[in-house]
């Protein structure tokens, strides 16, 4: 059996804790240390109980530890680029939560550092690893539907996050729809050239008061001629609504949500079926494992990870064009940057 990859986890908030718990059950990894500047005694105890041997407030403890092979960056977005650069300089492979950064300049600095150090950088777009989405992607990639003409993504959260979160999120396009922008590229295998975006806060007027929208909609034009239609909302109330559809020259492929079970109950009023998963931790439960398993493989074989830094950059560039379009009311071109 191969030696496990020794990792440090940067950021022990909600998503960091989830990754920590997952990684601790994976034989591919050994968690050496968790670092969080806001580390509380409670979190430290929680991490110990989970089985993480050491916690620290200083991320440098991770970068400086020569026994650590890789870092999992789950800290706030503002720290991502800096941590990527420091990890790269320390020769560590990197798994970084999305988005890489809100600032394209800083993303480019980070990607250059990764390139120079020749380390692995994988971005945390876990939607790609969902079995329903992945099966659909295969039907497109293997030519089953012929040439893709239209891609439609429905992506809705059950309920809006706190207004504090909304205010510091960077806006719906870069915070939320970035997953869908990434999926759009992944599924079509083509780059987005133009975007029209618009939104509304009819689902929650408080969001408008924060200067953001609660529902974001985008029409994408791809280099291969296909059209993408994305529809997202912060509030779908019935659960985490995650569906994709692709129309091609030979037919149409679509996936449905997952359901908690396949039971149906029939009465004189019709029939009743099960719930869909409430939110992303339930729906993408398995996908969070699969992305890390693939990261482990990329680290071990020193090969390109399934989601690269370039992918992370493109999603941000599309999000920026979408934000511009939402203001201008016009189709906006997506910036092209050589990395």
Q: Taking CB under 8 A as the criterion, which residues in 58-87 touch its own copies?
A: none
CA distance 306 to 325: 30
> Least Å distance between CB 219 and its own copies?
6
Choose between 63 and 284: whose C-beta lies nearer to its own copies: 284
**19 part of the interface to its own copies, by CB under 8 A:** no
Choose between 117 and 230: whose C-beta lies nearer to its own copies: 230
Nearest Cα to Cα of residue 80 among 117, 107, 119, 112: 107
Q: Angle between the 104-117 and 77-89 helix axes, to the nearest 10 degrees? A: 20
**255 part of the interface to its own copies, by CB under 8 A:** yes
The footprint of its own copies on residues 294-333 (CB under 8 A) is 329-331
The footprint of its own copies on residues 101-130 (CB under 8 A) is none
For 241, phi then psi, to 5°, come to -90, 110
Helix (H/G/I), strand (E/B), else coil: 92: coil
Which residue of 75, 122, 188, 215 would you call a contact of its own copies, by CB under 8 A? 215
**Residue reference for tokens 């539907």:** 145
Choose between 97 and 180: whose C-beta lies nearer to its own copies: 180
CA distance 99 to 263: 38
CA dihedral 309, 81, 101, 4 (to 10 degrees): 50
The footprint of its own copies on residues 182-211 (CB under 8 A) is 196, 198, 200, 202-203
> Least Å distance between CB 123 and its own copies?
24
Helix (H/G/I), strand (E/B), else coil: 101: coil
> Least Å distance between CB 334 and its own copies?
14
Nearest Cα to Cα of residue 325 among 195, 193, 202: 195
**2 part of the interface to its own copies, by CB under 8 A:** no
For 155, phi then psi, to 5°, come to -145, 105
Per-residue x/- marks for its own copies, 34-63, CB under 8 A? Answer: ---------------x--------------
CA distance 162 to 114: 34
> Least Å distance between CB 35 and its own copies?
24
Q: Which among 53-61, 160-168, 215-223, 285-293 is the span making contact with its own copies, rule CB under 8 A? A: 215-223
Which residue of 73, 136, 319, 334 would you call a contact of its own copies, by CB under 8 A? 136
DSSP 102: S
Angstrom distances, CA of residue 272 to CA of 5, 126, 243, 256: 46, 31, 20, 17
The footprint of its own copies on residues 271-290 (CB under 8 A) is 271-276
The footprint of its own copies on residues 233-252 (CB under 8 A) is 233, 235-239, 241, 247, 249-252
């Amino acid at each position: 059996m191969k030696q496990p990859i020794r990792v440090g986890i940067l950021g022990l908030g909600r998503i960091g804790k989830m990754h920590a718990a997952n990684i601790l059950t994976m034989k591919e990894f050994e968690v050496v240390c968790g670092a969080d500047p806001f580390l509380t005694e409670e979190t430290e105890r929680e991490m110990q109980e989970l089985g993480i041997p050491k916690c620290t407030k200083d991320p440098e403890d991770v970068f400086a530890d020569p026994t650590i092979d890789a870092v999992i960056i789950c800290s706030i977005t503002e720290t991502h680029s800096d941590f990527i650069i420091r990890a790269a300089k320390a020769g560590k492979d990197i798994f970084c939560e999305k988005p890489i950064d809100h600032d394209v300049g800083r993303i480019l600095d980070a990607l250059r550092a990764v390139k120079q150090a020749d380390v692995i950088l994988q971005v945390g777009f876990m939607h790609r690893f969902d079995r329903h989405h992945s099966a659909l992607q295969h039907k497109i990639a293997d030519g089953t539907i012929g040439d893709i003409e239209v891609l439609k993504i429905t992506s809705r959260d059950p309920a809006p996050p706190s207004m504090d979160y909304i205010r510091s999120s960077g806006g719906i396009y870069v915070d939320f729809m970035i997953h869908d922008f990434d999926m759009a590229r992944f599924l079509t295998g083509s780059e987005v050239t133009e975007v029209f975006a618009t939104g509304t806060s009819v689902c929650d007027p408080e969001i408008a008061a924060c200067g953001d929208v609660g529902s974001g909609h985008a029409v994408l034009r791809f280099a291969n001629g296909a059209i993408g239609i994305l529809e997202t909302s912060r509030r779908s109330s019935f659960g985490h609504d995650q569906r994709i559809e692709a129309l091609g020259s030979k037919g149409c492929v679509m996936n449905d949500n997952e359901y908690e079970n396949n039971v149906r109950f029939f009465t004189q009023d019709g029939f009743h079926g099960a719930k869909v998963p409430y939110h992303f931790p339930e729906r993408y439960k398995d996908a969070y494992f699969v992305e890390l398993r693939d990261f482990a493989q990329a680290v071990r074989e020193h090969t390109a990870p399934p989601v690269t830094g370039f992918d992370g950059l493109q999603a941000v560039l599309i999000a920026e064009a979408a934000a511009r379009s939402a203001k201008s009311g016009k189709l906006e071109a997506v910036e092209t940057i050589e990395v």
